[in-house]
């Protein structure tokens, strides 16, 4: 499987999401899709980011865009996280790191001098044909969701070139 590249169709992979949803990236065609990768359920930054997507969700709906949060946590953890904060979107479990590798979000990190591989907070916008149109890497949570919405509005106005 080749890595996702801007202005190219994304490889199809199976996804498992909250709500008992098992599908594939290809099945997301027809709407714009936001995939936001975050390190871990129920941590301060990840909770804030999820709440920002939740609080702006009606704007995504008006833009015919679906939102998915993605982390390596299991579905049970995701279900609790989603319920606790009333997220109106699904969370994808990527325990085997298939999506993380496809979107190249694994980075070496350091905590208290200990190095480890972790998810680099990143967001990707796919158009309604499954083509990757924009990537945000090394995301800072504050103001990020608004930047994603602005980018989708720009892409929709410009009528992204079709592959």
The residues assigned a catalytic role are 46
In whole angstroms, what is the distance from residue 113 CA to residue 91 CA? 31
CA dihedral of 80, 85, 90, 95, whole degrees rounded to 10: -50
Whether the CB-CB separation of 17 and 90 falls below 8 Å is answered with yes
Q: Which tokens belong to 136?
A: 């945000």
DSSP code, position 72: S
Q: What is the CA radius of gyration of the chain?
A: 15
In which residue are the tokens 């080749």 written?
A: 2
């Amino acid at each position: 499987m080749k890595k996702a590249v801007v202005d190219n169709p994304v490889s199809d992979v199976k996804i498992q999401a909250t709500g008992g949803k098992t599908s594939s990236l290809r099945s997301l065609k027809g709407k714009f899709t936001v995939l936001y990768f975050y390190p871990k359920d129920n941590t301060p930054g990840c909770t804030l980011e999820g709440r920002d997507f939740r609080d702006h969700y009606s704007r995504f709906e008006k833009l015919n865009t679906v939102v998915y949060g993605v982390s390596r946590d299991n579905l049970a953890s995701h279900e609790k996280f989603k319920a606790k904060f009333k997220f109106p979107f699904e969370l994808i479990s990527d325990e085997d790191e298939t999506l993380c590798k496809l979107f190249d979000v694994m980075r070496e990190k350091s905590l208290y001098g200990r190095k480890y591989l972790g998810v680099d907070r990143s967001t990707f916008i796919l158009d309604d044909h499954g083509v990757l149109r924009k990537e945000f890497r090394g995301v800072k949570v504050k103001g990020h969701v608004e930047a994603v919405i602005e980018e989708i509005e720009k892409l929709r106005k410009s009528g992204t070139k079709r592959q």
